Structure 1
């Protein structure tokens, strides 16, 4: 961490998994998170997905230092969990491994997943191990130009399990969509969840087995 400290306030290049990268000013960091400002937004990036951090050699594109505080400020020791807690109720974009992006609000933060309200997908359950970065929108942003009544952002009073596997077991016997529904073999009737293996019946009647540790998100249609 001492080497990272020397980069604070500097313009850096951050390479992530999946050939993604960011350039911005490193405004803060913790043992499991980097806070980057790209001139418009703050990005909160888990160390888990970071491959490389170094001073940027791009001298053409100047980035001004932020004049608005990040949600990582004034929270003592910076951690990704604290940042996620501070982000609750703020309209944000989150990027999930596999080129999946969701827009909405964090409503609950559990041990290994978050509950995320999306105006499009409604209630989403997103694995923390696959959450690549979070960026809140400007407070003045009106999501989708929609009426606020269409965007309930209050934390749910539903009893959520501490672990995503236990929560998913509650959905057995229901239709479920994994990873945004881009793969038809990840949409179907959830038959069983046991020891990290998901048994799913697709529309064709074909039974497929999915490894839970590779699941990025799920929602109930």
Structure 2
């Protein structure tokens, strides 16, 4: 990636999965994470979802070099996992599926997923393979301007297992909502999780089998 590093500090265009494009100043880069400053915030893009990036041909003069340093400035080498670990306890927006961001806090990072606490949805599990980008907010910001006493940043002491499949196995028999619940076939009673397949029983009693690797988020009401 030696030639790509020549773009550091310059304004670039980035296209990610879904043909969504962003413009900003490239502030950091590694084999698995790209950091962009859009003039207001730092955006962290896992390279898994970056389709292309290039020097901007049309410069946006409203985007200035950041006055503050990105979250990961003290790290000798940036990486996707280190970024998530550094973001623990920092109020952030994450973009996974659809067009609506989720606001809250990363509480734990595991082998193939991370635990995310949202004041709206409470505890959620998010696949590491499906996070499109992460935007940390100001250190003093809180979700929906709630007081810090209104909710715990580390809301659960319940032990979590290292893989998402094992965590789902542990919660068999509970109601579950996958990927925000936009698809009624992804809402139901969790029956089983094994061999990269998840079995659900939907509201009308149908049995549905979902491929675990395509599940983006997990929420248990």
**RMSD of aligned residue pairs (Cα, Å):** 1.3
Is this contact kept in 1: 2:94–2:133, CA < 8 A? yes
Alpha-carbon distance in structure 1 between the residues aligned to 2:40 and 2:98: 25
Unaligned runs of 5+ in 1: none
How much does 1:182 deviate? 1.3
How much does 1:148 deviate? 1.8
Alpha-carbon distance in structure 1 between the residues aligned to 2:156 and 2:88: 11
| Match in the other structure for 2:36 | 36
| Match in the other structure for 1:169 | 169
Alpha-carbon distance in structure 2 between the residues aligned to 1:103 and 1:121: 10
| CA deviation vs aligned residue, 1:27-58 (integer Å, no higher than 9, x gap) | 01112100100000000001111111100112
Alpha-carbon distance in structure 1 between the residues aligned to 2:103 and 2:37: 19
* SS of alignment partner, residue 81 of structure 2: helix
| CA deviation vs aligned residue, 1:8-27 (integer Å, no higher than 9, x gap) | 00000000011111100000
1:100/1:178 Cα in 2 relative to 1: closer, same or farther (>3 Å)?
Answer: farther
Moved more, 159-168 or 36-45: 159-168
* SS of alignment partner, residue 218 of structure 1: strand
Is this contact kept in 2: 1:85–1:109, CA < 8 A? yes
| Match in the other structure for 2:208 | 208
Do residues 197 (structure 1) and 197 (structure 2) align?
yes
* SS of alignment partner, residue 54 of structure 1: strand
| Match in the other structure for 1:187 | 187
| Match in the other structure for 2:21 | 21
Aligned length: 221
Do residues 154 (structure 1) and 154 (structure 2) align?
yes
| Match in the other structure for 1:121 | 121
TM superposition score normalised by structure 1: 0.96
| Match in the other structure for 2:84 | 84
| Match in the other structure for 2:56 | 56
| Match in the other structure for 1:111 | 111
Moved more, 183-192 or 91-100: 91-100
Is this contact kept in 1: 2:97–2:179, CA < 8 A? no
Alpha-carbon distance in structure 1 between the residues aligned to 2:85 and 2:208: 35
| Match in the other structure for 1:143 | 143
TM superposition score normalised by structure 2: 0.96
Alpha-carbon distance in structure 2 between the residues aligned to 1:101 and 1:141: 16
How much does 1:63 deviate? 1.1
How much does 1:94 deviate? 0.4
Alpha-carbon distance in structure 2 between the residues aligned to 1:142 and 1:132: 22
| Match in the other structure for 2:70 | 70
| Match in the other structure for 1:9 | 9
Moved segments of 4+, more than 4 Å = none
How much does 1:60 deviate? 4.3
1:60/1:163 Cα in 2 relative to 1: closer, same or farther (>3 Å)?
Answer: closer
Unaligned runs of 5+ in 2: none
